[in-house]
């Protein structure tokens, strides 16, 4: 749970606490550190809790989910918005012990009974999206910094224009990296990566896995389907068998799927919910299925 400490002026709580010198007291609310969003003509960001039943919600009338995914070349989106009569921040309490769906329904639920609705029309909202991409090849991106300079974008073992951390087939041999045992015991240490021909180059970075002089991708003796793993002449796949060195040139390369994950965070600052004020409040991280997606790319066969 993320704990939100609101400062409430004592004069607003005279029936509970009497003070003549303007002291303040803290009241603690607990909300999860995640939130949700919905809407087509503007977005509502919201979070709810029960026992007691409460909600926090922010309306930004000029936004759609797609806008949050429009990251720049640095894979970041940043937006700053001002709370107003149309962009509001609400804190609500309810008499319901169990809350129905509260937001983005065409017809509001008749079961909802709001006991308090505080609204701030002043303040600032800052939204940041960070896009992370990965090839899902079983190797942590940081471990694909082959040259060790901290820049993942210039590590491209097969020279196909796709950096290793996004390349599902790092050596361009048409056998996916995850199928070449880069981390045989799954401990994150690649020192045990499979090296079939013992040449000091692990299979996932070796374009000729069995060292027979024929590139792995050109050992498609039974079926030319851009997958040498299913071409077996003698017991094991030909690309792993130095006794089989028949060359059948590859005509194309495997399609790559790059996994995309968008992390959207929201912060509210300098707001005033009548008796509740806060300099900066971390609203949390957005949960939405639209934030997990993928893109596909196929290397040029002439690279």
Chain mean position to CA 224: 36
Backbone angles phi, psi at 252, to 5 degrees: -160, 175
Question: pLDDT by residue (tens digit) across 186-220?
Answer: 888 999 999 999 999 999 999 999 999 999 999 99
Spatial neighbors of 280 by CB under 8 A, at least 6 apart, are 267, 268, 269, 270
Question: pLDDT by residue (tens digit) across 41-74?
Answer: 889 999 999 888 999 999 999 999 999 999 999 9
d(CA 38, CA 56): 14
Q: Is 210 helix (H, G, I), strand (E, B) or coil?
A: coil
Lowest model confidence (mean pLDDT) among 107-121, 166-180, 260-274, 282-296: 107-121
Check pLDDT > 90 for residue 262. yes
Q: pLDDT tier at 20 (50, 70, 90 boundaries)?
A: very low
Q: What are the structural domain ranges in the chain?
A: 2-132+260-291
* Bridge partners, residue 181, by sequence: none
Q: What is the DSSP letter of 13?
A: G
Mean pLDDT across the chain: 86
**Cα-based distances in Å from 92 to 29, 49, 152, 165, 247:** 12, 11, 46, 45, 71
Check pLDDT > 70 for residue 22. no
């Amino acid at each position: 749970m993320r704990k939100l400490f609101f400062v409430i002026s004592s004069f607003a709580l005279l029936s509970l606490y009497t003070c003549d010198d303007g002291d303040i007291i803290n009241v603690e609310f607990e909300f999860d550190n995640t939130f949700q969003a919905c809407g087509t003509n503007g977005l509502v960001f919201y979070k709810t809790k029960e026992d007691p039943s409460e909600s926090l919600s922010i309306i930004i009338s000029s936004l759609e989910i797609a806008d949050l995914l429009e990251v720049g070349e640095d894979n970041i989106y940043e937006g700053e918005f001002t709370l107003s009569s149309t962009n509001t921040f609400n804190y609500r309490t309810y008499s319901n012990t169990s809350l129905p769906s509260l937001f983005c329904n065409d017809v509001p639920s008749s079961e909802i009974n709001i006991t308090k609705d505080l609204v701030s029309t002043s303040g600032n909202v800052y939204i940041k999206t960070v896009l992370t991409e990965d090839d899902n090849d079983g190797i942590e991106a940081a471990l694909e910094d082959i040259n060790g300079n901290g820049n993942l974008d210039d590590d491209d073992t097969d020279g196909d224009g796709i950096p290793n951390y996004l390349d599902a087939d790092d050596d361009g041999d048409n056998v996916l990296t995850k199928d070449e045992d880069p981390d045989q015991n799954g401990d994150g240490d690649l020192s045990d990566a499979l090296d079939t021909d013992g040449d000091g180059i692990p299979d996932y970075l070796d374009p000729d896995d069995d060292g027979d002089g024929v590139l792995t991708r050109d050992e498609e003796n039974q079926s030319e389907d851009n997958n040498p793993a299913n071409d077996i002449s003698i017991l094991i796949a030909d690309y792993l068998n130095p006794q089989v060195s028949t060359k059948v040139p590859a005509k194309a390369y495997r399609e790559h799927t790059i996994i995309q994950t968008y992390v959207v965070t929201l912060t509210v600052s300098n707001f005033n919910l009548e008796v509740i004020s806060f300099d900066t409040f971390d609203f949390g991280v957005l949960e939405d299925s639209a934030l997990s997606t993928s893109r596909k790319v196929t290397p040029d066969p002439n690279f």
